[in-house]
Structure 1
């Protein structure tokens, strides 16, 4: 056997099921009308690949709402989606380029508008016993971070009721 054969990576064992704890994905999407549908489709595939079919109904609804809001508010040409599974919960984050307004009243009006756009999301997350919010992004480019946490048990129950 040659030395090169010893340094090649081992083939992936496709029989080993992926577990939810390894779910960690990030996508950059154009700030376009089609992006919420693309985000939902990608998330559905990701959740199925990690054995989380029982949380798909809630997650897809939340991801679509967050992506639509991010695309609506961003002044930039793209938004960023992050999906993670930690501590028995799906953690969804969307980042858009909309900066925090310096003027207090303008910031309050903008936040109110964003909350009104996210009313359906609030209902779904509440039904899952989860949490959500938005605020200034800590990322280097700034903007706004929108997020939701869906506990597995709550999202599973939501899916059964749907």
Structure 2
């Protein structure tokens, strides 16, 4: 009897290798107390699925700090997390619905508050030779975008020291 041919792939036939360069994920999370833990757990699973065990310790710390800040600042009911791996670095973005203030002093006070909440993030990024920041988000839904670029070599050294 001839073998049947199907255009549908077998569910276990994964043709795209799970390598770091294929890492591109986005998650929408509720702006709730549990969301930083959910973001850390999801990120750990994603990073390990792509073989980025050496980045996990630093990335989990960074993602938790950004998610906590986003959930605290957003006036909306959700925040948006994006994970990408490009040029030997993990690129993390978190979007919250807190609009950028147009009044100069109010904007400076709000930025100072956000920076003070992200002091641990700043220490981790410094230890990893990474970059981070925040500013106006053009999408999704405007608000504020916080970002971190975590070089793999720096994250690896951070993980060994932890």
Q: 1:141: Cα distance to partner?
A: 1.4
User: In 1, distance between residues paired with 2:56 and 2:8?
Assistant: 37
Deviates more, 1:43-52 or 1:4-13: 4-13
TM-score (norm 2): 0.93
Q: 1:9: Cα distance to partner?
A: 3.2
CA RMSD of aligned residues (A): 1.9
Q: 1:153: Cα distance to partner?
A: 0.3
Q: SS at 1:5's partner residue?
A: coil
Give unmatched runs, 5+ long, in structure 1: none
Question: CA separation of 1:5/1:149 partners in 2, compared to 1, >3 Å: closer, same or farther?
Answer: same
Equivalent positions of 1:62-141 (< 5 A) are: 62-139=62-139, 141=141
Question: CA separation of 1:27/1:140 partners in 2, compared to 1, >3 Å: closer, same or farther?
Answer: closer
Question: Per-residue displacement from partner, 1:55-77 (whole Å, max 9, x unpaired)?
Answer: 11000000000000000000000
Question: Per-residue displacement from partner, 1:76-107 (whole Å, max 9, x unpaired)?
Answer: 00000000000000000000000011111000
Question: Per-residue displacement from partner, 1:6-65 (whole Å, max 9, x unpaired)?
Answer: 432355545975100000000000000000000000000000000001111000000000
User: In 2, distance between residues paired with 1:140 and 1:47?
Assistant: 24
User: In 1, distance between residues paired with 2:140 and 2:118?
Assistant: 25
Query: In structure 2, what is the equivalent of residue 57 of structure 1?
Result: 57
Deviates more, 1:59-68 or 1:14-23: 14-23
User: In 2, distance between residues paired with 1:77 and 1:21?
Assistant: 32
Question: CA separation of 1:136/1:16 partners in 2, compared to 1, >3 Å: closer, same or farther?
Answer: closer
Residue 15 of structure 2 corresponds to residue 34 of structure 1: no
User: In 1, distance between residues paired with 2:23 and 2:140?
Assistant: 24
Matched length: 161
Q: SS at 2:133's partner residue?
A: strand
Give unmatched runs, 5+ long, in structure 2: none
Query: In structure 1, what is the equivalent of residue 7 of structure 2?
Result: 7
